[in-house]
Chains A and B, each alone.
Chain A
Amino acid sequence: MKPFCRLAAVLVLGVSATAARGDGGTMLLHQDAGPFTITLFAAPQPLQAGAADLSVMVQDRNSGEVLLDSVIDLSVAPEAERALQQTVRLSRGQASNRLLQAATVHFSRAGKWRLVLLVRRGNDAASLSTECTVEPGSSRAVLVWFYVLLPAGIILLFVVHQGLKLRQKKQEGISGTPRSVLRTENSWCKPAPLSKMNCHPDRSEPGFPATRH
């Protein structure tokens, strides 16, 4: 039993670390514009139809210093239908990495999308645009498959568990351990012993033993 305790502890602790993830996502664009150097990050990568996190870092073009007080507007629109443009203002509050400003953008469909960034700081302003390809969303399907297969995995584990238990019982039976006899009885389903006193005021209730026996 002991080696497996160790392994179980190691696995449990190992799994706890799997929630670590970066912030900002993958770099989509890194370019100088006006007095700024602008970097656009996107997550997930590749972009998929549905919600996506877009983050922007603005730096001073000359010194490389991160500019935290710039105002950033991001407009996205499908290439085919520019009329469906949506504009969001990015904020530091939405980014875990407070050097960035972020917003959640909803890509309603797969295909080519145009992204336009407008950055303003004091009297300075700069604009950048880029294209990106949004792939058909698969996150929902992945999610559904995960949750549908999860019970299947647990059932499989339970089957193994029951098999091991049965084998253990058989081995105990061979070695003559009396515990196996006790375990084959399902004590949970035996009726609870009735108390000696029986002062129920209304014995005519359905199911009450006095009316049945």
Chain B
Amino acid sequence: MSDEVSQAVWSSWAFPFWATSGLLAAALLYLRGWRRIRRSRPELFPPWRAWCFLGGLFALWIAVASPLDTLDGLLLTAHMTQHLILMSVVPPLLLLGAPAVPLLRGLPRSAVRDGLGPFFSAPVLHRAARLVTGPAFAWLAMNIAYLAWHVPRAYELALRSPGWHEVEHACFLGTSLLFWFPVIQPWPSVGRGSRWALLPYLIGADLVNTGLAAFLTFSGRVIYPSYAAGPRVFGITALGDQAAAGALMWVIGSIFYLVPVAAIAIHLLSPQSNRLALRSITGSAKILRPKIPSRPAKRLDLLRVPLIGRLLRARYGRMALQSIAFVTAVLVIADGFMGHPMGAMNLAGVLPWTYVRAFGVIALLVLGNIFCMSCPFMLPRELGHRLGLARLKWPRWLRSKWIAIALMILFFWSYEAFAIWDHPGRTAWLLIAYFAAAFVVDTFFRGASFCKYLCPLGQFNFAGSLLSPFTLEVRSQAACERCTTHDCIQGNQQQRGCELQLYMPQKAGNMDCTLCMDCVKACPHDNIGLFAIPPVRDVLRDPVRSSIGRFSSRIDIAVLVLAVVLGAFANAALMVGPVAARLSALGDSLEKAVPLPLLSLVAVLVFSTAVVAVLLAVALAGLWLSRCGERANPSRREVFCRFSQALLPLGLAMWAAHLLFHLITGWAALGPAIHQASADFGWHFLALPQWKMELPLLSANNMLSVQLLLLDVGLLLTLYLGWRLAQHWAVRSSRAVLLLLPWATSVAVAYAAGVWIVLQPMQMRGVMMNP
């Protein structure tokens, strides 16, 4: 074999994404649990256990990602080595790590207790687990799987079909884990029957292995036709390859069975005291020690993470972000007016609609309200504040979300009616209007009235941030009780307090929070953190929130969430082929009588009102069906408000699926757009743009997978929230089901609509189609 070929073989690594991610996740989970157990029972989990488990995972990764995997279709020897690792190396190593308890301790306690607990205590599953981990079942399962998959027809099927190949590997690994279970007896399992029985158990398996290996070695013909028909590499014939594979199975396979036989025999024949010591090493003996109370679980506080925390708390950190956003906005406005008139070739057509929207939604789902944190519209507003004219209070009768909801619907409508995404000039005017509105309102009114009561983008982000996994909270309520100055809301000489009137000890969740960090910087006790929370907690709980009240009494917030959810479906639907064609035909037939923009505005308003009315009817129908006024007695308003908010996960999932489509298809547009803008401005330090049709970042099927997965997660979270709400209101589960049923049906219809939308051909906005 030449050096070049040898190098090619050694570089033939595959990196199976899901397997690698799964193994990494298992390793992290195990290590987390192992560290926790070590605190209370260090003797039971010495470091070698962790090394064994990690070694097992590494061996598994080698089997599925190394050249052994890529060469298995060409060389039977490589394929058999892969199987040997999966059956004889990986399982003992994993089981020596006693993985059951560390893996469970690695999970959040609530997930184990509430999520897995009911399954663990089900008698039927106990019986099943006892059956499959019994020696007789395990021996038969492993040997039957081993022999069955080596029958030529089954083996050829696995070689032909990647899917069956994966099933074959899963069978080998799964049954081998069962096989080695009685031999290793990983803690906390206790051996059943005499350990003497393990000697025939292992020797029997070795005999089966020897029989098959001998058959392969001494057969005078090639057993698996694929290897006979395929190309021969490295100068080895198909028959020679088969004999080598058989010999490998025979020799190495036997070692893996006979070494444990010898170890167990020596162990059993040794004096009783040594035997107990050995049993404690394998973990079979129960070691009872006084349990040391574990430390209370720490919550992740981003403000305490070294670099990130420092950046977030930096005095001019937010201003730096805003300045970058402001300069970008000015460039977008300038290019919108002076640049190329085609949206896909202009910063104003690409940056806000393809990039900022998608990253904004992603940020909401993985971190929080980053858009408001870096909002560029706030810088001129600061200037307005400094003029000292902000003396007026926002009128009490306008202190709700209704104006912002109307503006949001207006924005969704005008985006489509005037094709803002395709007209850079209109995008520029929109941004100027935004700057002007923020400046005017906050020049004359105190606090952040524009953000809280008017800004449609802000309201979208406030609603979306109800599902964000981080929130600003006080670290210790006791410290707040001792505080007399309340700087978090009232501010001090150096730092203003919260302009959105969120009083930290009573703040709950992310509604109305712009992550400006004013409260963090103002607090003299350093008592505010940015904590990780379960993403649905904000919607599930209904405490009295500072400056907001209870969600169950705020119809405007419920309608705001509905507008976000409806906007997601309407905005995506309007750009898929069938809907666009129908609307176009309808518009053509009616345009003579009514102007198209007016017609579409009326249609949007009628549609929105109809959907809100239907949802209200659905919620009330559930209430009527369940007649659940027996304990909690929820009002109609409460049912409507809380059920509406529970739709948020599905709505955000639809937004994410839709906006990710544009980001994935138009990901390459930004570079040429910047070059084009520089050319349009007459700046010649950048080369002329190279406009060409780029392939999407993901293939069509992968993109569809991502979109459908997002919708699935949204549906499941929405139904879960609905179920928890219904369970709270109803006394019995049957009543909860009746209460939930009409609402869940409407959720299923919305999900079906979402799936239909992502399956349709969608306009590739922001992408050059015909360069």
* Interface residues in chain A, defined as those with a beta carbon under 8 Å from any beta carbon in chain B: 1-27, 30, 37, 39, 41, 43-45, 50-51, 57, 59, 63-66, 68, 92, 96-99, 139-140, 143-144, 147-148, 150-151, 154-155, 158, 160-162, 164-166, 168, 186, 188-189, 191-192, 194-197, 199-202, 204-209, 212
Contact of B701 among A6, A97, A139, A162 (CB under 8 A): A139
Q: Are A195 and B701 in contact (CB under 8 A)?
A: no
Nearest chain B CB to A10's CB is how many angstroms away? 5
CB within 8 Å for A23 and B549 given contacts A64-B232, A206-B554:
no
Q: Which residues of B contact A39 (CB under 8 A)?
A: 230-231
Interface residues of B in 217-275 (CB under 8 A from A): 226, 229-233, 235
Interface size range of chain B in the complex:
35 or more
Contact of A98 among B12, B162, B490 (CB under 8 A): B12
Q: Across the two chains, which residue of chain A brings its CB closest to B15?
A: A96
Q: Are A165 and B118 in contact (CB under 8 A)?
A: yes
Q: Across the two chains, which residue of chain B brings its CB closest to A69?
A: B4
16 contacting pairs across A/B (C-beta < 8 A): A4-B122, A5-B120, A8-B116, A10-B132, A10-B177, A15-B170, A17-B174, A20-B64, A27-B226, A64-B233, A99-B12, A140-B700, A168-B121, A191-B542, A206-B549, A207-B544
Q: Are B549 and A209 in contact (CB under 8 A)?
A: yes
Q: Are B8 and A68 in contact (CB under 8 A)?
A: yes
Q: Are B189 and A2 in contact (CB under 8 A)?
A: yes
* Residues 81-109 of chain B, each 1 if its beta carbon lies under 8 Å from chain A, else 0: 01000100000001000011101100000
Q: Are B177 and A13 in contact (CB under 8 A)?
A: yes
CB within 8 Å for A24 and B174 given contacts A9-B103, A148-B708, A189-B540:
no
Q: Are B73 and A24 in contact (CB under 8 A)?
A: yes
Q: Which residues of B contact A50 (CB under 8 A)?
A: 700-701
Q: Are A23 and B235 in contact (CB under 8 A)?
A: no
Nearest chain A CB to B761's CB is how many angstroms away? 13
**Is residue B23 contacting chain A, with contact meaning CB distance below 8 A?**
yes
**Is residue B51 contacting chain A, with contact meaning CB distance below 8 A?**
no
Nearest chain B CB to A96's CB is how many angstroms away? 4
Q: Which residues of A contact B177 (CB under 8 A)?
A: 10, 13-14
Q: Across the two chains, which residue of chain A brings its CB closest to B22?
A: A16
Q: Which residues of B contact A212 (CB under 8 A)?
A: 549, 553
CB within 8 Å for A22 and B233 given contacts A12-B103, A164-B118, A189-B540:
no
Q: Which residues of B contact A165 (CB under 8 A)?
A: 118
Contact of A147 among B70, B116, B705 (CB under 8 A): B705
Nearest chain B CB to A136's CB is how many angstroms away? 15
Cα-based distance from A64 to B231 in the complex (angstroms): 8
Q: Are A68 and B4 in contact (CB under 8 A)?
A: yes
Q: Are A164 and B704 in contact (CB under 8 A)?
A: no
CB within 8 Å for A147 and B133 given contacts A68-B4, A195-B506:
no
Interface residues of B in 710-729 (CB under 8 A from A): 711-712, 715-716, 719-720, 724, 727-728
Q: Are A4 and B129 in contact (CB under 8 A)?
A: yes
Q: Which residues of A contact B705 (CB under 8 A)?
A: 143, 147
Nearest chain A CB to B108's CB is how many angstroms away? 16
Q: Which residues of A contact B121 (CB under 8 A)?
A: 1, 164, 168
Q: Are B60 and A143 in contact (CB under 8 A)?
A: no
Q: Are B133 and A6 in contact (CB under 8 A)?
A: yes
List 6 tightest A-B contacts by C-beta distance, closest first: A207-B549, A19-B19, A14-B174, A3-B129, A147-B708, A192-B543
**Is residue B130 contacting chain A, with contact meaning CB distance below 8 A?**
yes
Q: Which residues of B contact A6 (CB under 8 A)?
A: 100, 129, 133, 181, 186, 189
Contact of B8 among A22, A41, A92, A162 (CB under 8 A): A92
Interface residues of B in 44-92 (CB under 8 A from A): 60, 63-64, 67, 69-74, 82, 86
Q: Which residues of A contact B728 (CB under 8 A)?
A: 186, 189
Q: Are A17 and B170 in contact (CB under 8 A)?
A: yes
Cα-based distance from A204 to B564 in the complex (angstroms): 27
Nearest chain B CB to A118's CB is how many angstroms away? 19
Nearest chain B CB to A37's CB is how many angstroms away? 7
**Is residue B26 contacting chain A, with contact meaning CB distance below 8 A?**
yes
Q: Across the two chains, which residue of chain B brings its CB closest to A3?
A: B129
CB within 8 Å for A151 and B715 given contacts A7-B132, A68-B5:
yes
CB within 8 Å for A23 and B503 given contacts A16-B22, A147-B708, A206-B399:
no
Q: Which residues of A contact B281 (CB under 8 A)?
A: none
Q: Across the two chains, which residue of chain A brings its CB closest to B237?
A: A64
Q: Are A12 and B26 in contact (CB under 8 A)?
A: yes
Interface residues of B in 190-241 (CB under 8 A from A): 226, 229-233, 235
Q: Which of B71, B170, B229, B480: most chain A CB closer than 10 A?
A: B170
Q: Which residues of B contact A24 (CB under 8 A)?
A: 70, 73-74
Cα-based distance from A144 to B751 in the complex (angstroms): 13
Q: Across the two chains, which residue of chain A brings its CB closest to B446?
A: A202
Q: Across the two chains, which residue of chain A brings its CB closest to B714?
A: A151
Q: Which of A8, A9, A20, A143: most chain B CB closer than 10 A?
A: A20
**Is residue B589 contacting chain A, with contact meaning CB distance below 8 A?**
no
Q: Which residues of B contact A12 (CB under 8 A)?
A: 26, 103
Cα-based distance from A162 to B174 in the complex (angstroms): 28
CB within 8 Å for A197 and B235 given contacts A20-B63, A27-B229:
no
Q: Across the two chains, which residue of chain B brings its CB closest to A189?
A: B728
Q: Which residues of B contact A164 (CB under 8 A)?
A: 118-119, 121-122
Q: Are B544 and A209 in contact (CB under 8 A)?
A: yes
**Is residue B167 contacting chain A, with contact meaning CB distance below 8 A?**
yes
Nearest chain B CB to A185's CB is how many angstroms away? 10
Nearest chain A CB to B12's CB is how many angstroms away? 5
Cα-based distance from A9 to B115 in the complex (angstroms): 16
Q: Are B173 and A147 in contact (CB under 8 A)?
A: no
CB within 8 Å for A144 and B708 given contacts A19-B18, A188-B540:
yes
Cα-based distance from A93 to B571 in the complex (angstroms): 40
Nearest chain A CB to B517's CB is how many angstroms away? 20
Q: Are B22 and A19 in contact (CB under 8 A)?
A: yes
Contact of A26 among B160, B235, B542, B553 (CB under 8 A): B160
Q: Are B540 and A21 in contact (CB under 8 A)?
A: no
Nearest chain B CB to A57's CB is how many angstroms away? 5
* Residues 645-685 of chain B, each 1 if its beta carbon lies under 8 Å from chain A, else 0: 00000000000000000000000000000000000000000
Contact of B94 among A7, A13, A160, A205 (CB under 8 A): A13
Q: Are A207 and B553 in contact (CB under 8 A)?
A: yes
CB within 8 Å for A17 and B173 given contacts A6-B181, A10-B181, A151-B712:
yes
CB within 8 Å for A37 and B701 given contacts A143-B708, A144-B755, A195-B505:
no
**Is residue B691 contacting chain A, with contact meaning CB distance below 8 A?**
no
CB within 8 Å for A1 and B733 given contacts A20-B16, A99-B9, A196-B481:
no
Q: Across the two chains, which residue of chain A brings its CB closest to B94?
A: A13
Contact of A22 among B13, B159, B699 (CB under 8 A): B159
Q: Are A45 and B161 in contact (CB under 8 A)?
A: yes
CB within 8 Å for A99 and B8 given contacts A5-B100, A64-B232, A189-B541:
yes
**Is residue B297 contacting chain A, with contact meaning CB distance below 8 A?**
no
Q: Are B173 and A14 in contact (CB under 8 A)?
A: yes
19 further A-B contacts with Cβ under 8 Å, apart from A4-B120, A12-B26, A19-B22, are A3-B129, A3-B130, A4-B129, A13-B174, A21-B166, A26-B159, A30-B229, A37-B231, A45-B161, A51-B700, A96-B13, A97-B67, A140-B704, A148-B708, A162-B733, A191-B543, A195-B506, A205-B501, A208-B549
Cα-based distance from A155 to B99 in the complex (angstroms): 28
Contact of A197 among B120, B125, B233, B481 (CB under 8 A): B481
Nearest chain B CB to A151's CB is how many angstroms away? 5
Nearest chain A CB to B106's CB is how many angstroms away? 11
Nearest chain A CB to B170's CB is how many angstroms away? 5
